[in-house]
Amino acid sequence: MGKDEKKKDKGKDAQLVLRLDRADRDAFIQLCKALDTSASREVRHFIRDFLKKHEG
């Protein structure tokens, strides 16, 4: 297994595609930039918290 293959195994391997209003998307991305984070990071954080809250 090559170096790139090992890296891919440990990384993210799925995507979630969603549709939302352009204004909401733009405001979210702008706020993430202002908070020095990324939209992807914040969505992953939301999903993990949501799963923890509803596990069981």
Note the pLDDT tens digit of each residue in 6-27: 555 577 789 999 999 999 999 9
Q: What is the mean pLDDT of residues 48-54?
A: 97
Specify the pTM: 0.74
More confident residue, 28 or 8: 28
22 close to 30: Cβ distance less than 8 angstroms = no
pLDDT at 18: 95
User: What's the number of domains the chain is made of?
Assistant: 1
CA-to-CA separations, 46 to 5, 10, 49, 52, in angstroms, rounded: 28, 21, 5, 10
- Encoded amino acid at 4, one letter: D
What mean pLDDT is reported for the chain? 89
In a domain? residue 2: no
Eight-class DSSP state of 17: -
Least confident of 2-6, 23-27, 32-36, 40-44: 2-6
In a domain? residue 31: yes
In a domain? residue 12: no
